[in-house]
Amino acid sequence: MPITSRILEVATADPDRLALVGSPSGGCASDESADSAEGSRAPRSLTYAQLVRDSATMFAAVDALHRAQTDPPTPAPETHGIPITAVSLTSAFETSRIIAGLAGFRAVSATIDPRWPLDHQVGVITTTGIGLVISDSTRLAEALAAAGWTGTVITATDFQAREAAIDPADTAPPTVREASEPFLMLFSSGTTSNPKAFIKTRQQYRDNVAVSSAHLEPLPGVATLAPGPVSYSLTLYAVVESLATGGSVHVADDFDPFTMGARIADEAITRVVAVPAVVKALAEAARRTPENFHGLDLVVTGGANLPASIRSALADVLPGARLISYYGAAEIGFIGDSRDGDGTWISIYDTIDVEIRDESGARLPDGEIGTVWIRAAACSDGYVTGTTDAQLRRPDGWATVGDQGRIENGLLQLAGRAGDIAITGGHKVSLPEVERAFEEFDRADPRSGPGRLGEVCAIALPDDGLGNIVALVIEPGAQGSGSHARDGDSTAPDKAALLDHARAELAPQFVPRRFYSLDRLPRTVGGKIRRHETVDLVMSGKAQRL
């Protein structure tokens, strides 16, 4: 169902139903100025009726800004000539308000993470022909001007002032748009490589909502908490799907475990959509104040292979709350989910086709690791011209983002991306599978000392005999180890204990042949470990070999 038709329907039938709710503080300061009104002047919440009313003046302000340009940037051809408006703010509420408000008009919207490297931000804006950027970053504005960009940057404060100056009588109301019309420009990356942009049409988003509605329960009237930057596709989609199904979406700039429990209780939130790291923090917060979380019914998290420790931690403290870990790709849409066990085996949704193929495109038999190909109605047509040479979707409708996996008994198990597979002695080894074997490593062996192991990263290192060997790089836990370690020291566990554990949990070809320690594993701005950068640190001698 289209987002605008449901918004208009609810605004008429139940005008006071909450559509969008921000943090109790009303927003947050911008990335550069604590005095910015990026949330200070905006309301904390909008009902469906208010969202419809305000969207008209919002679009009028956006349209006027685009039309005022004497030499506007040319939008990417995939937008069919529709000007692109990007939001790059730290306020989840303000970002969500703008994306939702523009949905009922001839507009293509995009969210750009202000934490991206500056050159990534400038690159996607200039390459895709974004014409208007709502941002409080003077560094971004200066860099765009230096790059010769002819569009407009406006602060959140100034944009809100322009909205307020428009007479509602001079505006047109939002309407349901044509299915084929471009709706959102999204980005598949922005932390480890140049971002790849792609367009979602309104029909593709409607098809995606149909899948998530059937399996992930964004039901009418349900209050969903979606904490985190709206530039994350998971958070952005939670905003869109909640409004497209008549729910209330509660956003937050980040997950504060000290206040979120009270918010869940006070705002009667029953559903949370969040990345795995937030789910882990939620379980820890619920352990401290379980009374605030008793109303929580469903937790939905993205990313395949959810660590079993997160699932068990949530089940221990909130046995009545269900946890669904879904697998999907922003370019393609929802593919399947896991609801029990260690989360490594994914049930594929009945409207989605999945095949495992080798490098030549031939279909592989069950059990063999290869590239995951998907056929789904919600899949984008391809990447935006100029942002990548990669092919997303073939003419026959099958698409891949390069994920690796295997199928057994009709279930899908992911093995990571192409760079997450090591070929050692002729065997394909999934490096994420090696990492999962250490999720429950508790260092019970006396040689390893007290405490728990920190994060780990499995890598492939070149080897003359085997082609590659598997190595494990660990980030030691917080507690000390051994008689000479002080309380709170970060020390590595014993190599023998790690090796014994690996031999007990993994097939012989998966067992790491070397172990290294780093005080801090390299991560993206979103908290994901950078495997390739970890390899570089090891090869340059910056990791300690155990």
Q: Which domain holds residue 432?
A: 425-545
Quote the pLDDT of residue 340: 82
For residues 480 and 415, state if they share a domain: no
For residues 9 and 158, state if they share a domain: yes
User: Quick one: which of 423, 420, 411 has its CA closest to 356?
Assistant: 411
Task: Give the CATH number for residue 453.
Answer: 3.30.300.30
Q: How far is it, in rounded angstroms, from Cα 425 to Cα 428? A: 9
For residues 482 and 500, state if they share a domain: yes
For residues 28 and 142, state if they share a domain: yes
Quote the pLDDT of residue 405: 92
For residues 183 and 283, state if they share a domain: no
- Three-state SS across 277-331? HHHHHHHHHHHHCHHHHCCCCEEEEECCCCCHHHHHHHHHHCCCCEEEEEEEECC
Helix (H) or strand (E) holding 417: strand 411-417
For residues 395 and 415, state if they share a domain: yes
Q: How far is it, in rounded angstroms, from Cα 418 to Cα 415? A: 9
- Asked if 72 and 66 count as a contact pair (C-beta separation under 8 A), the reply is yes
**Arithmetic mean of pLDDT, 492-501:** 86
Quote the pLDDT of residue 492: 65
For residues 436 and 463, state if they share a domain: yes
For residues 168 and 154, state if they share a domain: yes
pLDDT above 80: residue 292: yes
- Strand, helix or coil for residue 443: coil
Task: Give the CA count within 13 Å in the CB-facing half-sphere of 264.
Answer: 28
pLDDT in tens, 113-160: 998 889 989 999 999 999 999 999 999 999 999 999 999 999 999 999
For residues 131 and 247, state if they share a domain: yes
User: Quick one: which of 317, 273, 309 has its CA closest to 291?
Assistant: 317
- Three-state SS across 225-251? EEECCCCCHHHHHHHHHHHHCCCEEEE
158-189: burial string, b at 16+ Cβ within 10 Å, e else: ebbebbeebeeeebeebeebeeeebbbbbbbb
For residues 321 and 291, state if they share a domain: yes
Quote the pLDDT of residue 338: 93
Q: How far is it, in rounded angstroms, from Cα 473 to Cα 475? A: 7
pLDDT in tens, 346-394: 999 999 999 999 989 999 999 999 999 999 999 999 999 889 988 999 9
Furthest-apart CA atoms within the chain: distance in Å:
77
- Asked if 6 and 104 count as a contact pair (C-beta separation under 8 A), the reply is no
For residues 195 and 223, state if they share a domain: yes
Pairing of strands 132-135, 84-88: parallel
Task: Give the CATH number for residue 168.
Answer: 3.40.50.12780
pLDDT above 80: residue 30: no
For residues 433 and 490, state if they share a domain: yes
Among the candidates 382, 405, 420, a domain finishes at 420
Q: How far is it, in rounded angstroms, from Cα 511 to Cα 506? A: 6
Helices 156-165 and 48-67, axial angle in degrees (round to 10): 100
pLDDT above 60: residue 500: yes
In this structure, the chain runs to a length of: 546
Among the candidates 193, 223, 254, a domain finishes at 254
Question: DSSP character for 523?
Answer: B
Among the candidates 359, 386, 420, a domain finishes at 420
- Of 96-110, 281-295, 427-441, 472-486, the one with minimum mean pLDDT is 472-486
**Arithmetic mean of pLDDT, 4-25:** 94
Total domains, the chain: 3
How much is the pTM? 0.83
